[in-house]
Copies of this chain bind each other. A is one copy, B any other.
Amino acid sequence: MVRWEPGAAGRLREAAMALYAEQGYDGTTVAQIADRAGVTARTFFRYFADKREVLFAGSEELERVIADAVIAAPAEAGPMEAVAAGVLAAGEAFVGRRDFARQRYAVVAATPELREREFIKMASLVEAFRAALQERGVAPGRAVLAAETGITVFRVAFERWVEGAEADLVVVIRETLGELSELTS
């Protein structure tokens, strides 16, 4: 019989983050994370493949959020407006999660293995963006440029958000989009 653990995934995520912050990512084991969350290692592996994936779970969800928003943008919206819709939707996914995002950002920045993994995940977000833009009829070459630009804005805004004082990522994204438009005009 598999015992269902309500909220176990969230508790595991918080426990992992606390341990990574306290004793470093490399020095933390799955057993310690499970112990801190009050579950067994077996329960850990029901939710996450390994201690790295605790930090990257949810990125497929983010791909979907972006693609859905791009596709749902008004028919008359140009490529960059559709990109903006995707980036803002991604930003909305982080409402109320800045403390977690800050901790995660610090752990990832400090660990080469995680930085590399993060780069790969960003490439997947670009790909989700690009495919959604092409579904809107944007030409392939332009879709790549628009998708890359969208993720660049997202990354820059995200970094500003975790390092800055503004509580709302969506606000920072809007500012960054405006600044990009000013910069390149």
Chain A residues within 8 Å of B, Cβ to Cβ: 78-80, 112, 115-116, 119-120, 123, 141-142, 144-146, 148-149, 152, 155-156, 159-160, 176, 179-181, 183-185
Residues of chain B with a CB closer than 8 A to A179's CB: 142, 145
Q: Copies of this chain, how many?
A: 2
The answer to whether B119 and A176 touch across the interface, beta carbons within 8 angstroms, is no
Closest chain-B Cβ to A81's Cβ sits at a distance in Å of 10
Given contacts A183-B80, A184-B185, A185-B185, contact A176 B145 (CB under 8 A): yes
The answer to whether A180 and B184 touch across the interface, beta carbons within 8 angstroms, is yes
Residues of chain B with a CB closer than 8 A to A181's CB: 184-185
What are 18 A-B contacts with C-beta separation under 8 Å? A78-B183, A80-B183, A112-B120, A115-B120, A116-B116, A116-B119, A116-B120, A119-B119, A119-B120, A119-B123, A145-B179, A146-B183, A148-B152, A148-B156, A149-B180, A149-B183, A180-B184, A181-B185
Q: Please, which residue of chain B has its CB at the minimum distance from the CB of A144?
A: B156
Residues of chain B with a CB closer than 8 A to A115's CB: 120
Residues of chain B with a CB closer than 8 A to A123's CB: 119
Residues of chain B with a CB closer than 8 A to A80's CB: 183-184
- Per a CB cutoff under 8 Å, which of B112, B142, B156, B159 touches A183? B142
**How far, in angstroms, from A171 to B149 measured CA to CA in the complex?**
20
- Per a CB cutoff under 8 Å, which of B112, B116, B119, B145 touches A180? B145
The answer to whether A156 and B160 touch across the interface, beta carbons within 8 angstroms, is no
Residues of chain B with a CB closer than 8 A to A159's CB: 144
